[in-house]
Amino acid sequence: MLYEMLSGAAPFHAATNNDVYQAVLHKTLDFNRPCFSKTAQSLLSQLLEKDPQRRLTSPTAIKKHPFFAGLDWD
Protein backbone atom coordinates (compact mmCIF):
# COMPACT_ATOMS: atom_id res chain seq x y z
CA MET A 1 0.00 0.00 0.00
CA LEU A 2 2.85 2.39 0.80
CA TYR A 3 4.35 1.81 -2.66
CA GLU A 4 0.99 2.68 -4.23
CA MET A 5 0.51 5.73 -2.02
CA LEU A 6 3.92 7.14 -2.97
CA SER A 7 3.88 6.27 -6.67
CA GLY A 8 0.21 6.12 -7.60
CA ALA A 9 0.67 2.64 -9.08
CA ALA A 10 0.86 -0.95 -7.86
CA PRO A 11 4.38 -2.35 -7.42
CA PHE A 12 3.56 -5.22 -9.77
CA HIS A 13 0.93 -5.20 -12.45
CA ALA A 14 0.08 -7.42 -15.42
CA ALA A 15 -2.83 -8.50 -17.59
CA THR A 16 -3.82 -11.51 -15.48
CA ASN A 17 -3.64 -12.48 -11.82
CA ASN A 18 -1.24 -15.29 -12.70
CA ASP A 19 1.04 -12.83 -14.49
CA VAL A 20 0.98 -10.57 -11.42
CA TYR A 21 1.89 -13.55 -9.26
CA GLN A 22 4.82 -14.35 -11.57
CA ALA A 23 5.95 -10.73 -11.48
CA VAL A 24 5.93 -10.74 -7.68
CA LEU A 25 8.06 -13.87 -7.69
CA HIS A 26 10.56 -12.93 -10.37
CA LYS A 27 10.74 -9.19 -11.01
CA THR A 28 12.41 -6.46 -8.99
CA LEU A 29 10.75 -3.30 -7.78
CA ASP A 30 11.06 -0.15 -9.87
CA PHE A 31 12.33 2.70 -7.70
CA ASN A 32 13.44 4.88 -10.65
CA ARG A 33 10.88 7.56 -9.88
CA PRO A 34 11.31 10.85 -8.03
CA CYS A 35 8.56 9.88 -5.56
CA PHE A 36 10.89 7.36 -3.87
CA SER A 37 13.41 8.87 -1.48
CA LYS A 38 16.34 6.73 -0.38
CA THR A 39 14.62 6.08 2.96
CA ALA A 40 11.37 5.12 1.18
CA GLN A 41 13.31 2.74 -1.05
CA SER A 42 14.97 1.21 1.99
CA LEU A 43 11.70 0.71 3.85
CA LEU A 44 9.83 -0.68 0.85
CA SER A 45 12.68 -3.04 -0.02
CA GLN A 46 12.63 -4.42 3.51
CA LEU A 47 8.84 -4.69 3.68
CA LEU A 48 8.59 -6.37 0.27
CA GLU A 49 11.56 -8.69 0.77
CA LYS A 50 10.78 -12.03 -0.89
CA ASP A 51 12.59 -14.08 1.75
CA PRO A 52 10.28 -14.18 4.80
CA GLN A 53 13.25 -14.70 7.13
CA ARG A 54 14.80 -11.41 5.99
CA ARG A 55 11.55 -9.41 5.60
CA LEU A 56 10.88 -6.51 7.97
CA THR A 57 7.79 -7.61 9.92
CA SER A 58 8.18 -6.33 13.46
CA PRO A 59 5.89 -3.34 14.11
CA THR A 60 8.52 -1.94 16.48
CA ALA A 61 11.26 -2.20 13.86
CA ILE A 62 9.02 -0.70 11.20
CA LYS A 63 8.24 2.28 13.42
CA LYS A 64 11.97 2.80 14.09
CA HIS A 65 12.87 2.86 10.39
CA PRO A 66 14.37 6.22 9.29
CA PHE A 67 11.46 6.73 6.88
CA PHE A 68 9.32 7.52 9.92
CA ALA A 69 11.88 9.74 11.65
CA GLY A 70 10.15 12.57 13.47
CA LEU A 71 6.76 10.86 13.50
CA ASP A 72 5.16 10.69 16.95
CA TRP A 73 3.43 7.32 17.03
CA ASP A 74 1.63 8.23 20.24
Mean pLDDT of the chain: 93
Dist CA 14 CA 22 (whole Å) = 9
Distance between CA atoms of 58 and 27, rounded to whole angstroms? 25
∠ Cα 48 52 53 (to 5°):
125
Nearest to 40 by CA among 1, 72, 2: 2
**CA distance to 2, 16, 21, 35, 73, per residue, from 40 (Å):** 9, 28, 23, 9, 18
- Where does the pLDDT of residue 39 fall: very low under 50, low under 70, confident under 90, or very high at 90 and above? very high
Say which residue, 15 or 50, is predicted with more confidence: 15
